[in-house]
Amino acid sequence: MSEFHSKIRTIQWTDNCSRMVDQTLFPYEYKYVDIKSGDEMFAAIRNMIVRGAPAIGIAGAHGIVLYAIEIAKQISNRDEFISTLLEKADYMKTSRPTAVNLMWAVEKQKEIIKNSSSGISGIVEELKQNGIKLENEDIEINKKIGDYGAEVVPKGATILTHCNAGALATVGYGTALGVVRSAYAKDNTIQVFADETRPRQQGARITTLELTMDGIPTTLITDGMCSYFMKKGMIDMVVVGADRIASNGDAANKIGTYTVAIAAKYHNIPFYVAAPLSTIDTNIETGDEIVIEERSREEVTHINGKIICAPEVNIINPGFDVTPHELIAGIITEKGILRPDYKDSIKALGI
Ligand code: MRU
């Protein structure tokens, strides 16, 4: 296991509510908010107070606990309690469509609801305990991903990453940035190049913040610069996260990832995806089946509340793109690094 100790805890069930870092305030404030109801959690996920695939999974699991607490105060009939709660669970899954970890975690809670033999208060308690368990497991999974990934990081490497697949996209430690943390624990000469990641600037606002907090050398670049630095021989590898991986290894991640993968292939730079098994969706064959979230026009037309373009211009704003499996050198998971042919290596996981 890695010796790196990150200071960051993104989300935690505490005092009967879900305490999370408000990521809309970065980099100006690092402040925790308490989410106290299921509807507040739905809004926190949709408005990206909490974001990053594994983190919104845990947020969804906490959201079901919050709904359960509320419904238990209103309904005393057990069957009615269960059917109302299952409806709310399905509603929670619609808060963001692309990251499959949300569906995965909510389904884990639904299994508890359906299989429990307890009364209402017992079910609420079981959901709470399961939420805490999923939360703690997330950090352990990320550390394993980090340690497997560190094995393929060359000495003194410069690692390019896109968006934020860090401690702040998970409960703690991170997936892509978990690889960085574990590699840095072994070799403090490695460094990170972070893509800014328009439109919401997760790279600039979040990745630079968390890596700086943990003392890892980081250089911020704008999205269009990656091929320039690749051509100059300044990037040794790319590691990104994922929001959903199809059975053939196609991987959805923040918009712009596909461009980075194409540039990496052209320059013979290995492009890795780091993600937990909960990001792999074996219900779909290829990335064509992944629903891509369409986000608001203001994310593109405005920066920090100020308009940056002609007000009437047309806007299209997909939140994610899909990197085809043939551009991916390996998928780093908690069970090791999957290699092509991904259809076979994913099937062999038996998930
Ligand atoms: O829209 P976001 O900020 O939730 O998107 C996040 C990303 O695309 C991450 O890179 C991805 O979720 C991987 S998280 C470990």
Task: Evaluate the CA torsion angle 223, 228, 232, 238 in order and state its sign.
Answer: positive
Backbone angles phi, psi at 108, to 5 degrees: -60, -40
Q: Is the pTM of this model over 0.85?
A: yes
What's the 162 CA to ligand 1 centre distance in angstroms? 9
Q: Does the pLDDT of residue 228 top 90, yes or no?
A: yes
What's the pLDDT score for residue 1? Answer: 55
pLDDT in tens, 57-88: 999 999 999 999 999 999 999 999 999 999 99
Q: How confident is the model at residue 3 (pLDDT cuts 50, 70, 90)?
A: low
Coil vs helix vs strand at 30: coil
Give 344 Cα–ligand 1 centroid separation in angstroms.
Answer: 26
CA distance 206 to 130: 28
Counting residues of the chain whose pLDDT is more than 70, the rounded percentage is 99
Q: Which residues line ligand 1 (CB under 6 A)?
A: 51-54, 99, 163-165, 169-170, 175, 202, 241-243, 253-254, 319
Where does the pLDDT of residue 2 fall: very low under 50, low under 70, confident under 90, or very high at 90 and above? low
User: 37: which residues sit within 8 A by CB, 6+ positions away?
Assistant: 66, 67, 70
**Which of 138, 195, 214, 243 does the annotation list as catalytic?**
243
Number of residues in the chain: 351
Residue 15 annotated as catalytic? no
> What are the residues whose beta carbons fall under 8 Å from the beta carbon of 268, sequence distance 6 or more?
none
* Three-state SS at 11: strand
CA 38 – CA 58 distance, rounded (Å):
13
Instruction: Determine the Cα–Cα distance for residues 253 and 244; give it in Å rounded to an integer.
Output: 7
Angstrom distance (rounded) from CA 263 to CA 313: 29
- Work out the end-to-end distance of the chain between its first and last CA atoms, rounded to an integer number of angstroms: 24
Residue 114 has pLDDT above 70, yes or no: yes
Quick check: helix, strand or coil at residue 143?
A: helix
